[in-house]
Structure 1
């Protein structure tokens, strides 16, 4: 994975509000969670939540889907695992 892509992902997760949103979405699993639920549970104003969700989506960490009038957010687990793998790939390589 490209270091610039990983850096953008980590940058987006480096903000406490975005990290809290992302953690909540991870807990929801593959079905995702409605934006309104996230807003209510985390007590984040709508415009602020929208801004943070946009950042997570632009980094490819989440995707959104609409079901009628409800907008759901879902973690892109493949991307998350790629970022984690990038950090682990060379673990302890110089220690041998």
Structure 2
């Protein structure tokens, strides 16, 4: 991931509701969840959820697909791994601190 993508991802996750949505989608696995179920589980109004999902999607952290009349959202694990890898790629390169 390039630095602009990293900044966008961190910015999207730096908000309580978006972080909760992303974590719920990670728990849900690759099958994802319909928007209505996300709203229900997190007690968020649909229009507020739509706003947050849009931020996560624009940051590349969430994918969406249509299933009939439902929109199914899922975490983009490749992007999440890229973010973690970027943050830890030079871990302990100056001092030995971890394996």
Query: Under TM normalisation by the shorter chain, which class is it?
Result: over 0.9
Separation in structure 1 between the aligned mates of residue 10 and residue 66 of structure 2, nearest angstrom: 26
* 1:15-53 deviation digits (Å, cap 9, x = unpaired): 000000001000000100111000001010111100000
| CA–CA distance in structure 1, aligned partners of residues 81 and 6 of structure 2 | 11
Give the CA RMSD over aligned residues. Answer: 0.8
Q: TM-score, normalised by structure 1?
A: 0.97
- Higher fraction of helix: 1
Other-structure match for 2:3:
3
The ranges of structure 1 where at least 4 consecutive aligned residues each deviate by more than 4 angstroms after the TM superposition are none
Deviation at 1:2, TM superposition (A): 1.2
How many residues are aligned here? 96
